[in-house]
Structure formats: structure tokens, C-alpha cells
Chains A and B, each alone.
Chain A
Amino acid sequence: MQLTLKIWRQKNASDKGGFATYPVDHVSKDMSFLEMLDVLNEELTEKGQDPVHFDHDCREGICGSCSLYINGKPHGPLQTTTCQLHMRSFNDGETVTIEPWRAKAFPVLKDLVVDRYAFDRIIQAGGYVSVGTGGVPDANEIPIPKTIADLAMDAAQCIGCGACVAACKNASAMLFTSAKVSQLALLPQGQVERKTRAEKMVAQMDAEGFGACTNTGACEAECPKGISITNIARMNREYFSAVVSSENL
């Protein structure tokens, strides 16, 4: 296949940036999207040009490192991570537009790489449980009903890639934050910090400059892990009940 790539190039965080166009030939349909970019970068390097910077790590769809806003959608046309997207999802001769995630809280560092530490700071604010040190606890020491364990696991599938923020018209991080609030709020181990967690994580999410939710459902539709917006409703319940009943003034 032959493609025309329209890629956002930006030297550094303070550079204005702009689109550059690259024609690519001999693209195999079986290549992953990132492999296609690897080939482009080989060519650019051989020509002595700066390769296109993009985030990636496991390339197995489990780490949440890869991003890219491809043809108007986070992670491209399929509901999966960019590393699991293959060139068979594109047509020969197509122009593919590749942009970085766009959000005030996710500043562009270089080309397609954005700073997603805002998510880490939300986790630091309350996305943890107190752990008792000592011996390894026995299996099934804490009974958890299967239905609840399933809901917690569904929420825990969030890989923190930021596609929800990228998809949302308000650059809201509520799907991410709510998944993290939910996975712990549902389980007995998460009860100790439950109220404080909801309050602190929401406060941090706001402080990072993410937008509010309009319930458009775009995040859920684009999430590579299929995180449901029922988690956002749960976070709202957790937060509203926490603010009226927690000991934090």
C-alpha cells in the first residue's frame, strides 16, 4: 500500500508546531500502525532527518503507553490501542492524519509525545489502598462476591492511556478517574480510604485542568479497554456521599 501521512511535528514543549506530510510506500497490510511509523522513522534517520517521536512500550495492548489521534479518533478507527491497530484498517492511497492527544493537562513534549503525569498525580492523590505489612495473607481470607469482583476487574482494566481525555470534547478525565475510584471502592480492601479517596482524586483531577463531563459517552466508545461510564456514575455517588459524610472539612 501507499499512504500519505500528515503528522504533527513539534520540536519541544514551547515550539508552535505544525503538520508535515510524508509519503510512504511499500506498506504491508499486516504491519501494525507503530511498525509502519518505525519504517518511516528508519527512512527519516537514513536521510539524516529527525525521526517522528511517539510513545510506545509493550506493543501488546496492555501498558497504555501508545497514544496517537489518528484520522480524528484516539487510537484510530478501531476500539483498540494503536499498537494493536494494523494497516489493513486503512485503504491504499489514503491520507492518514496523526495528531497528539490534545488537552491542557497533557502538554505536548515533542511531536506526538505528550506528558501524561497528570494521571499519575491523580493516582498519587488517592488511588491506593493501605497495606498491612506482615505475612502473606491466605487466599480467600477476604470473601468477595463474584459479581463485585467482576465489576472491580472491569474497572481495573483501565491502562491509563488517556484516550478518554483525547476523545472527550471537554478533555475530561472522568472515565479514567472513575475507573480508578471504582476498582477500589468496590472491594473490601478499598474501604479504609474510600471517602477521602473520592474527594482527593476528584480535587486532583480538577487541579490538573481537565474539563467536566457532559455525558456524551465518547470516552466509553473510544476506550480500548471498554471501560463503562457506569463508573462515572459510581464516582459521582462516591464523591457526593463523601462530601456530606467524610471527616474532611
Chain B
Amino acid sequence: MSWVTKTLKSTLGRKLIMALTGLFLILFLTGHVSGNLLLFKGDGGEAFNMYAKFMTTNPAVKLLSYLTYISVIGHVIYSITLNRLNKSARPIGYAESGAFTNSTWSSRNMGILGTIILVFLAGHLYSFWFQIHWGDVPIVTYAGEEYKDLYSVVKVAFQQEWMVALYVVAMTFLGFHLSHGFASAFQTLGLNHKKYSPAIKTLGSIYCVLVPVLFASMPLYIYFTS
């Protein structure tokens, strides 16, 4: 076994993959939420549609999107192998557990939270990502150039109460996942120091609320304004 395979098979190596892919997905979420803020512009979706075209055609963005797909798949696969390993490390459990006194609920349930987010992601990708790539999306023209009107797809989707509710609930789960995942990724990378760890923890606490709230406010905004 080469030293690379040996490292990636070790518990620390697998955790490293989880941390790196997790941090990349945090970067992705930051970009995703920033771009989608264009939904609030109130220009009938012009800026959003132009942004959507840029995001689906620009070669640099394409490269980033492949990295995102790899990160999602890697994060999921490694979480499954780690979870199996962790479960096998305690074949017989305790009759009584006081775990709630020594750790947060989110930190103990990252697998469940992640699974819920993955299921949501599948539906989310089908609703929008699949539609803009291969779906039947109406065409609009701005300044003589044709654009796919993804905004109208978003608008139709978020006029349904259940879709809005689903998105708000899913973002709550994302918030809990991030509430542990953000700082945890840095700890796994070995970045725990009295000089900067308090800042990482504060940033994580802000991030895990801000990003899901911004995401959740998008369907709510569209539902209540159209």
C-alpha cells in the first residue's frame, strides 16, 4: 500500500477529506447565496437570468462546478465509510446515555442532518439545475440577446406553499449542520489555536445562521411578493 492510500484509508486521512470537501462546499454556499441575492433586485429577473447564463456558460465557473460535484460526492462517500467505521467501533451500546450533557445535538447527528440535506439537494437540483440545463425553460430577450428565463421557473416553484415550507425547513437543517461543521473542519485540519480559534467559532456561529436565513428568505420573498 502506498503512503497516499495508507493515509487516505486512516481515520485522520478520511477526516481530512471530510474537512476539505466540507470547507469547499462552504465556499460554494457563500458564492451561491451571494449570486442568488439578485432575486431580491425587483427587476423582473433580468439580473438573475443574466447571472444564471454566466454561471452555466463561463468555463472557469464550469471548472468550479465540477469541483463542487466532486466535493458533494466525496463528502457523502467518506461520511458513509466513516459512519460505518464509527458504528463498528461500539458494537454494544450503553443502556443509559448522558451524551446531551457533554456535546451538542448537531455534533452527534451530523450524519442524519447530512442525509436530510442530501435528499433536499436531489430535489433542489431537479427543480432548478436540471431544468436550466435540460428542461423546457422559456426564453427572454434582453438588449437583443437571448437568455433562459430561470427566474420564471423559480417564481412558479415558490408560488406553491409546500415548496416554500420545504425550503425553509431544509435550510434549518443546513443551519444545524453548519453550526457544527464550520468550526469542526478547522479543528480537523489541525487549526486550533488560542490566537484564532475564537474568531473561527464566532464566524461559524454567524455563518450558520446568516446563510440559511438568506437562502430561506428567497422563497418567502417570492411567495409574498408575487
A216 B107 Cβ-Cβ under 8 A: yes
B89 A210 Cβ-Cβ under 8 A: yes
A216 B103 Cβ-Cβ under 8 A: yes
A217 within 8 Å of B by Cβ? yes
The one of A8, A170, A212, A233 that contacts B90, using a Cβ cutoff of 8 Å: A170
A33 within 8 Å of B by Cβ? no
A212 to B17, CA, bound (A): 13
A212 B82 Cβ-Cβ under 8 A: yes
B189 A72 Cβ-Cβ under 8 A: no
The one of A210, A221, A237, A240 that contacts B102, using a Cβ cutoff of 8 Å: A221
A235 to B93, CA, bound (A): 28
Q: How many residues of A contact B (CB 8 A)?
A: 48
A209 to B2, CA, bound (A): 21
**Using a Cβ cutoff of 8 Å, how many contacts connect chains A and B?**
139
Bits for B9-37, please: 1 = Cβ < 8 Å to A, else 0.
01111111000000000000000000000
Q: Which of B124-172 contact A (CB under 8 A)?
A: none
* A212 and B102 contact, Cβ closer than 8 Å, known pairs A236-B189, A236-B190, A240-B16: no
Instruction: Quote the shortest CB–CB distance from A229 to chain B (angstroms).
Output: 7
* A214 and B108 contact, Cβ closer than 8 Å, known pairs A104-B88, A233-B190, A240-B12: yes
B86 within 8 Å of A by Cβ? yes
B98 A72 Cβ-Cβ under 8 A: yes
B108 A102 Cβ-Cβ under 8 A: no
Of listed B2, B82, B192, residue having the most chain A CB within 10 A: B192
Residues of A within 8 A of B (CB): 6, 8, 19, 69, 71-73, 97, 99, 102-105, 167, 169-172, 174, 202-203, 205-206, 209-218, 221-222, 229-230, 232-237, 239-240, 243, 248-249
30 contacts between A and B (CB under 8 A): A71-B98, A73-B98, A99-B95, A105-B89, A169-B86, A169-B108, A171-B86, A202-B12, A203-B10, A205-B11, A206-B11, A209-B89, A210-B89, A211-B89, A212-B11, A212-B12, A212-B15, A213-B15, A216-B104, A216-B108, A216-B180, A217-B102, A217-B103, A221-B101, A221-B103, A229-B187, A233-B190, A233-B192, A239-B10, A243-B3
